[in-house]
């Protein structure tokens, strides 16, 4: 599955490679990227571990996070996909594939996250059938909350993750 590639009219979504480390590190230095997610930039060592974890997801689960590229230019736009992060949020969240998306500020406001996530969800439905997908988003990230709703996710509950407020969402494919 590590060779899975999804293409949309504008995007190429592919699993991460070790060679994506520098681009992923640069992405996570952008304040508009980390502001609502980690609250701080991701350091070099932690970013390396993220890329390795993303690569490992494909082997362990047959799904994972995709690196999003602009088909016309090859520029990295962000990361979109499904993962199992074992967040410790309880049985109504943990164990289900978690939808996640993050784009660089150069890709905001162009419908790229929606285009990419719609393609990922269609791919996941074809591969996994009627499966429950979860997501978590800070309520301050209004753009992502709105996208989750447009993608068919429904808010389940509010919670706290790493001392930050979140809303958990769910949607069943199919």
Distance (Å, rounded) from C-alpha 171 to C-alpha 174? 9
Q: Which of 114, 137, 133, 103 is nearest to 24 (CA)?
A: 103
- Contact criterion met (CB below 8 Å) for 14 and 4: yes
pLDDT digits (tens, 9 = 90+) for 132-164: 999 999 999 999 999 999 999 999 999 999 889
Give the chain's domains with CATH numbers.
6-129 (3.40.630.30)
At 99 the pLDDT is: 97
Structure tokens belonging to residue 75: 């520029």
| pLDDT exceeds 90 at position 35 | no
Q: What is this structure's pTM?
A: 0.92
């Amino acid at each position: 599955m590590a060779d899975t590639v999804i293409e949309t009219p504008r995007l190429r979504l592919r699993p991460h490679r070790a060679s994506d480390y520098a681009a992923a590190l640069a992405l996570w230095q952008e304040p508009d990227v980390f502001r609502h997610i980690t609250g701080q930039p991701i350091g070099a060592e932690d970013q390396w571990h993220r890329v390795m974890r993303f690569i490992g997801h494909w082997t362990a689960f047959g799904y994972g996070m995709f690196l999003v590229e602009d088909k016309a230019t090859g520029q990295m736009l962000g990361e979109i996909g499904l993962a199992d992060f074992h967040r410790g949020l309880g049985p109504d969240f943990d164990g289900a594939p978690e939808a996640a998306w993050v784009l660089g500020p150069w890709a905001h406001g162009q419908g790229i996250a929606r285009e990419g996530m719609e393609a990922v969800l269609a791919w996941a439905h074809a591969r996994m059938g009627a499966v429950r997908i979860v997501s978590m988003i800070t309520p301050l990230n209004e753009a992502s909350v709105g996208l989750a709703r447009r993608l068919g996710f429904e808010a389940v509950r509010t919670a706290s993750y790493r001392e930050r407020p979140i809303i958990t969402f769910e949607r069943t494919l199919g």
